[in-house]
Amino acid sequence: MAYSPADCCQLAGKTLSRSSTTCSLAALIGTNLPHLKRIWSKNKTERRKYEGIHNNAASKSTKRRYKQYGSLAVIVGSAGYYATLNKSQRRSLFAKIEAFGRFLRAVNTGMLISFDYYFSMLGLKEGCANYEIGMSRIHQRAANRILNGCLLNGGLYIKMGQGLVALNHILPKEYLDTLQQLHDKCLTRSEDEVIDLFAEDFGKSPTDIFEEFDMKPIAAASLAQVYRAKTKDGLDVAVKVQYIDLQKRFNTDISTIEFLLKLIKIMHPAFNFTWILRDMKDTLKQELDFINEGKNAERCAKELAHLNYLYVPKIVWNKCSSRVLTTEYIEGTHVNNMQRLKELGYSLADIDRKLFRIFGEQIFHTGFIHADPHPGNVLVRKDKNKKIQIVLLDHGLYNYLPSVHRIALCNFWNAIVLNDHGNMKKYAYQLGVEDYTIFAEILTQRPLATEIVFHRKLSNEEVQYMIKMAQERFDNIIKALRNMPRSMLLVIRNLNTVRSIVRTHGDPINRFTSLARIASHGKFDSSGMTLLKKLTSCKQRTYFELRLWYSNFRIWFMKIMLRILQMLGRLPDITAITRQIA
């Protein structure tokens, strides 16, 4: 294509124009380049920020979806796994979940009690006017928390709480009065659980085994529920059915309680009760075997057959297993139901004498000792001759006292009455106890020394000294109990439980005298003796009775003097203390 000169000039002009424009633009950019760089950098940062926010939102949304899908997968997988389990496996799974819940509840209760004691006692000083009131309130709060924790956790926790009640020579009154409810208040279980347990142990339902079976329990204990039933041959029976998950949760519950006691020991060194649990482990295993309980009941009935005022319900062996115990059903009134006992015209003194004779025979003569004679396990009724009869239930926990220890214990008690400190020390050593004075006071629940100051009012220094000595006495009691043979601990538990029953009756008999005579009965038995030995035995028995009378007179005189000193303002109110003295 050919261009004319005019076209060439025009084209050249445009090119020059563009070139000048480009040059001007380049000059402009060059001049403002730093500013443009800042704008570009800022825009780039904002773009990245925007892209980052957009990407984060997308990432979070994706993560949420993954979590939702993951949760759904876990739920579906768990439901599928649960659907494949049988009833026993499902119970085992729930037991593990519930064990964690019991652990958290127990730890929470223990920490609340510990912190309450620590912070509430900061402003309290022993000997001040508000000390007793303040401590009583703290004790009551702690006892209420323990009670609620035991009832909610059930099983071994209730058993542990019942064991604490037996330590009435150590624990404050608030604990004893509150935890006493654990003998009557226990959790009940569903009917399905009973049916499942029978299916596991017998391969049949309760209605297949019995002619009649009332699915509503007539009693609920710490380890089992009791139902009323009738056998095919028409015998009325009581069927004790263990809680189905109890044996499986034994180890975890024991470990939790042990952990709590160790924690309390760290926070409050003076309150070290870990030794109690160590002694309870084997006894609790005994109680979980109902076949063993049936054998214990039959042995008790055989060894005490000469006491016609004692009755032990017969065992129906063909309807028993390790978790089910069937005995004949007995009507009676619980020994602590004073109102009903009085309405029936029963003599409380007669009941108490027979109680001490029954358990005294076991401790001092047979050596095969019922270790859990709380009021729920003792019924009172009239026999066919219209005389008072004691019915002894729940033979799951027994202790065997070897002959060498049993004889030493009888001699130790005899030495207490005769005030023979040499023999007290000798026989206490044979029983594995170092501090014989503390041991004597724990056994008899009365002081060996009864010196009283009459001439003046106690000074503040003397009051503080008495408080210090009382604390040291408490520490010595704990030490003595911790070092005692396990067999002795269960003897003390038995004695203290029976004595607490007698106290609720108003102490119609002398506890110390009753036990002292039972303990020394074999020593003065003159059957089969020659005339000379009979005369010697009669002389010893007369001296023993005189010393026993003097010991009782001394305690009576001490109580009278303490009341007089209290009336004169030389002593604080110690009614609660003197009532504990046998």
DSSP label at 289?
A: -
SS3 track for 25-52: HHHHHHHHHHHHHHHHHHHHHHHHHHHH
Quote the CA–CA distance of 236 and 79 in Å, as a whole number.
45
Quote the CA–CA distance of 102 and 256 in Å, as a whole number.
9
Helices (H), 505-530: 511-519
Quote the CA–CA distance of 427 and 519 in Å, as a whole number.
14
Torsion angle (degrees, nearest 10) of CA 446, 449, 455, 461: -90
**Which residues contact residue 331 at a Cβ distance below 8 angstroms, ignoring those fewer than 6 apart?**
381
SS3 track for 90-109: HHHHHHHHHHHHHHHHHHHH
Quote the CA–CA distance of 149 and 169 in Å, as a whole number.
23
Task: Look at the block and give the residue holding tokens 């004679």.
Answer: 373
Range 484-495 burial, b when 16+ CB lie within 10 A, else e: beebbbbbbbbb
Residue 541: how many CB atoms within 10 A of its CB?
Answer: 15
Quote the CA–CA distance of 250 and 264 in Å, as a whole number.
21
Quote the CA–CA distance of 293 and 290 in Å, as a whole number.
5
Would you mind telling me the total number of residues written for the chain in this entry?
582
What residue ranges in 349-405 does DSSP mark as E strands?
368-370, 378-382, 388-392, 398-400
Helices (H), 445-522: 460-483, 486-504, 511-519
- Pair type for strands 333-334 and 212-213: unpaired
Phi, psi at 172, each rounded to 5°: -65, 160
Q: What angle do CA 335, 339, 340 make, to 5 degrees?
A: 65
Quote the CA–CA distance of 387 and 243 in Å, as a whole number.
37
**Which residues contact residue 335 at a Cβ distance below 8 angstroms, ignoring those fewer than 6 apart?**
341, 351, 355, 375, 378, 379, 380, 390, 501
Half-sphere exposure of 379 (CA within 13 A, CB side): 15
Does the annotation mark 177 as catalytic? no
The maximal CA–CA distance of the chain, rounded, in angstroms, is 173
Quote the CA–CA distance of 232 and 36 in Å, as a whole number.
105
Q: Which of 372, 420, 475, 525 is catalytic?
A: 372
The residue among 358, 357, 299 whose CA lies nearest residue 513 is 357
The residue among 215, 219, 218 whose CA lies nearest residue 207 is 215
| Amino acid symbol at 462 | E
Cite the active site residues: 372
